[in-house]
Structure formats: structure tokens, C-alpha cells
């Protein structure tokens, strides 16, 4: 069982308290160090050697380590090396204390990952000021890290805003254009099949006029959910093209598979039974979709624009494909 001491100079639950891990085999040195640091009210945890220090590290998560260089069982240099593997230089200040006063010690201390060092006999004023400075540096590092994390989170949110349609949570037109350009170029060069589905909510203006725009928004959200659940997200691309129009880009997908995806989307939207009493679609009192499907396989397109145009829809509540104006 470990034998160590914890000196709560300040209530350890206080957010103002720094935790210092004091590692020294000499109980007198530990007592004197605590006395010097009392005015600054640190929460001090004591260890007698490097092994105890490593065992305590994860438990107490110190803000600073005061580490004697010469100790039994595991000396300060080896302990410092192990600690540095657990925490980067900026995150954990390590102040080494030693009676060795030569260049070899200095090199060994910094090679082991020490932030700074002082010699024995200890100048207690210097020790206190070094501890204050290193803790301040650590605190500034923590604040900078937190600010950087917040900035990164904000940047990610901005990216989402820039590329995600906020109503349907599908990609927006900007994302679609970028992805489609990229996939078009890749598939043309590699000879892989690329399929595209153009999807339109039938008689959507009448739906909005009848039920109101909030209901129209809910309708588009439900269609978006069906599209998202019907594709290999995010390998395939589901996007809101504009208004009540959607586009699905299916990478490495032949026409027969794309037609199956389109039919599944069409039938699942019908299964939602979203009322549309003013729809002009024959024998359907519910919201329906018209979907046009096109594929690069077996047909040479002069441009991406021709490819998209070929997927446009003729008729309502059906899936139409590139080689026929009839249902596919």
C-alpha cells in the first residue's frame, strides 16, 4: 500500500487552488517546501519517490510537479521522463530540484523533459517565485487550449452552416456543386458509374397555399429524412437543390441500382401519408414525388450540365430514367 501525505493548505474543492505534487525522499525538505508555499495556499500532495509519484499522477492530476533528482527506487530523471510521456511540456510544468551542480545534470534534466530546475541548498524565495511563474504559465496554456478548442468548435459550426441546409439537414446547393464536380471528374477519369437522381415534390406550391409554410417546411424535413435513410451516407450525397427540389448523387452506382433507390424514396414518401388534398396527382390524396434518374454508364455526356439535365423529370409521382420518357 502506498504511503504518502496530502496537505490541503486550501480546500481542494476550491476552484482557486492549484495542486502541486511534491516528490522528495527527504521528509525535512518536504516540510520546508510546504512551509514556503503556505502563503500561496496550494493543495500539496507528497510522494517519497518516482514510483509513488507516477501512481499519484492520475489520481490527483497536478498542476505542477516539484521533483527531486536523487531518490531511491526511481530517481527524478526517470520519473520526469515517464511524466512527460503522460503530459506535454506546456500542459504540466516540472520543476526539478537537485544537489548536483554541473552541466551534466542540466542536460539530463532538460533531456528528461523538465521545464526548469533549481539547486540545493534551495533558495526559498527563488523556489516560491519559480513555482508561481510556472503555474501562471500552465494556467495561460490551459486558457489558450480552451480558447483554441472553442475556436475549432466555432469553425466546425461555421463549416456546417456553410455546407448544410438548416431545414432538412441535408447538404445544401453549395456542397452539392462542389461534391458533384469532384465526383464527375473522378468518375469520368476512372470510368466508374455515377448516377444522379433529381427529386421534386409534386404540386408543392398548392401544398403551401393549402396548409401554410410551416406545414410545407415539415413536409420537406420528412422528405429529407427519407432521402438520408435511403442512401449510403456520407458516401452518397443527399442535398436540397432548391425549394422543393432534391438531388441525390450515387457514387460507383449503375443505373439499375439508382432506379431502385429512387423507387424506394418515392414509395416511402407515399407511405408517410402526408395529406395533400389539392394535389393534381391522379388518385393520390397524399404528398408524392417525381424522380428523374441518369447514369454515366453506357452513355457519353459532353458535360456535367448535360448529365444533370438528363435527370430532369417528366410527369408526376413516378421514376423516370434517361433513355425513356416512360416509367422505368
Indicate which residues carry an active-site annotation: 244
Contact 248, 261 (CB under 8 A): yes
Contacts of 68 (CB under 8 A, 6+ apart): 23, 24, 25, 26, 29, 76, 96, 97, 98
- Spatial separation of the C-alpha atoms in residues 252 and 190, rounded to whole Å: 10
Half-sphere exposure of 46 (CA within 13 A, CB side): 19
Contacts of 308 (CB under 8 A, 6+ apart): 180, 196, 198, 294
**Strand-strand pairing, 43-47 and 64-68:** unpaired
Name the strands in the sheet holding 194-201, side by side, starting at the edge strand that comes first in the sequence.
Answer: 237-242, 245-251, 194-201, 289-295, 319-321
Contact 195, 295 (CB under 8 A): yes
The set of cell numbers assigned to 281 is: 396527382
At residue 149, φ and ψ (nearest 5 deg) are -65, -40
Other CB atoms within 10 Å distance of the CB of residue 234: 10
Amino acid at each position: 500500500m502506498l504511503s504518502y501525505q496530502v496537505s490541503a493548505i486550501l480546500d481542494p474543492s476550491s476552484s482557486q487552488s492549484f495542486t502541486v505534487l511534491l516528490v522528495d525522499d527527504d521528509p525535512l525538505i518536504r516540510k520546508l517546501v510546504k512551509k514556503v508555499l503556505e502563503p500561496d495556499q496550494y493543495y500539496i500532495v507528497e510522494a517519497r519517490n518516482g514510483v509513488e509519484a507516477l501512481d499519484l499522477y492520475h489520481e490527483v492530476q497536478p498542476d505542477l510537479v516539484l521533483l527531486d533528482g536523487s531518490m531511491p527506487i526511481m530517481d527524478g530523471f526517470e520519473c520526469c521522463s515517464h511524466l512527460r510521456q503522460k503530459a506535454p511540456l506546456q500542459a504540466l510544468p516540472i520543476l526539478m530540484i537537485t544537489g548536483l551542480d554541473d552541466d551534466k545534470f542540466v542536460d539530463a534534466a532538460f533531456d528528461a523533459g523538465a521545464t526548469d530546475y533549481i539547486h540545493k541548498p534551495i533558495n526559498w524565495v527563488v523556489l516560491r517565485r519559480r513555482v508561481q511563474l510556472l503555474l501562471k504559465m500552465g494556467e495561460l496554456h490551459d486558457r489558450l487550449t480552451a480558447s483554441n478548442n472553442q475556436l475549432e468548435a466555432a469553425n466546425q459550426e461555421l463549416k456546417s452552416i456553410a455546407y448544410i441546409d438548416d431545414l432538412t439537414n441535408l447538404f445544401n446547393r453549395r456542397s452539392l456543386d462542389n461534391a458533384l464536380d469532384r465526383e464527375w471528374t473522378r468518375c469520368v477519369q476512372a470510368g466508374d458509374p455515377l448516377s444522379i437522381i433529381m427529386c421534386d415534390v409534386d404540386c408543392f406550391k398548392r401544398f403551401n397555399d393549402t396548409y401554410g409554410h410551416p406545414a410545407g417546411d415539415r413536409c420537406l424535413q420528412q422528405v429529407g429524412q427519407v432521402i438520408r435513410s435511403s442512401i449510403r451516407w456520407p458516401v452518397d450525397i443527399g442535398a436540397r437543390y432548391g425549394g422543393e427540389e432534391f438531388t441525390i448523387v450515387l457514387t460507383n452506382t449503375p443505373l439499375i441500382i439508382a432506379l431502385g433507390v429512387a423507387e424506394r424514396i418515392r414509395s416511402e414518401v407515399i407511405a408517410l401519408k402526408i395529406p395533400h388534398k389539392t394535389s393534381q396527382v391522379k388518385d393520390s390524396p397524399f404528398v408524392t414525388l417525381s424522380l428523374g434518374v441518369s447514369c454515366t454508364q453506357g452513355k457519353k455526356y459532353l458535360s456535367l450540365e448535360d448529365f444533370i439535365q438528363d435527370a430532369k423529370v417528366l410527369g408526376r409521382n413516378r421514376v423516370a430514367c434517361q433513355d425513356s420518357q416512360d416509367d422505368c
